[in-house]
Structure 1
Amino acid sequence: MMFELHPRLAQDGLPLGRFPLCRLLLMNERRYPWFILVPERPGIAEIHQLPDADQIRLIRESSALGGALAAAFAADKLNIAALGNLVPQLHVHHVVRYRHDPAWPAPVWGRFEPWAYDAAGLAAVRERLAGMALPDFVPWP
């Protein structure tokens, strides 16, 4: 079985690059810096289904991403979650939160109709991502 990105993630996420285990997407919702890690393993819905080495790799990639996002975006809080209620493919949300954001202190999921990135906004996120110290991350063109 080959890895295929779930259609909903492909529809809602903008590809940014990949780590050794995970593909990195940007949720196409510009109210929040919202990133999604998707382990590129077929048929995985839960973290416990990953082999031990992949579980460790996922935590390392998530921790590196989380620390870089918190610093680069001066987050008041970083929400990290693997919900999977609508999309059964394992994916881990990393949402930068601010006390002044439109959903604070509630969760951002399903709160608003998405406000998509324009070309300049996406370029700005890619530029900021390029300035982060993310070990083993390879950006996509």
Structure 2
Amino acid sequence: MDELELEYELDPRLAADTISLGNFPLCQLLLMNDANYPWFILVPRRAGVTEIYHLSLDERTQLMSESSFLAENLADLFHASKMNIAALGNMVPQLHMHHVVRKENDAAWPAPVWGKVPAIPYTPAQLDDIRERLCRLMSEELSFCPHA
């Protein structure tokens, strides 16, 4: 573990709006607490990073690998019409990448999801279901999953 990872702390706004699901080698995986959409966020565990180009070349490669892996699995798992992936940072400067599963019948389609409809928090049963489904697909890559 390097110094930047030791100093890493999740932005309080992300912590307030999300549920931590586990860690990939570089990123913490979060679930936006909004059951309107399967909406996941990757946050590189590096202190002070606000832009992708602030990461080392190896870390950028790892971020793209984790993002692509996550997007492909989410698209399959949730039968996406389209995956929306974005790293905006206008409200929360800490580097984070949104991965939103979009469906043609979702509450905001085809508009962006931000502020379209009020958030609906997940129930404990819904969270358990998401964790179980992710573990089936990502047990080797994501640290929250118990290894068989």
**TM-score between both structures, scaled by the size of structure 2:** 0.91
Gap regions ≥5 residues in structure 2: none
**Partner of 2:107: helix, strand, or coil?**
coil
Q: C-alpha separation between the residues in 1 aligned to 2:95 and 2:116?
A: 22
**Runs of 4+ with >6 A deviation:** none
Task: Name the residue aligned to 2:122.
Answer: 117
Q: CA deviation at 1:49?
A: 0.8
Count of paired positions: 141
Q: C-alpha separation between the residues in 1 aligned to 2:140 and 2:115?
A: 32
1:88-137 deviation digits (Å, cap 9, x = unpaired): 00000000000000100000012222110010111111111111146522
Aligned AA (2:133): R
Task: Give the alignment's Cα RMSD to 1 decimal.
Answer: 1.4
The higher-RCO structure (CA 8 Å, 6+ apart) is 1
Task: Name the residue aligned to 2:13.
Answer: 8
**TM-score between both structures, scaled by the size of structure 1:** 0.95
Contact kept in structure 2, 1:64 and 1:135, CA below 8 Å: no
Task: Name the residue aligned to 1:20.
Answer: 25
User: In the superposition, relative to structure 1, how do residues 61 and 134 fare at CA in structure 2: closer, same or farther (>3 Å)?
Assistant: farther
Aligned AA (1:80): I
Q: CA deviation at 1:8?
A: 0.5
1:61 equivalent in alignment to 2:66: yes
1:77 equivalent in alignment to 2:77: no
Q: CA deviation at 1:58?
A: 0.1
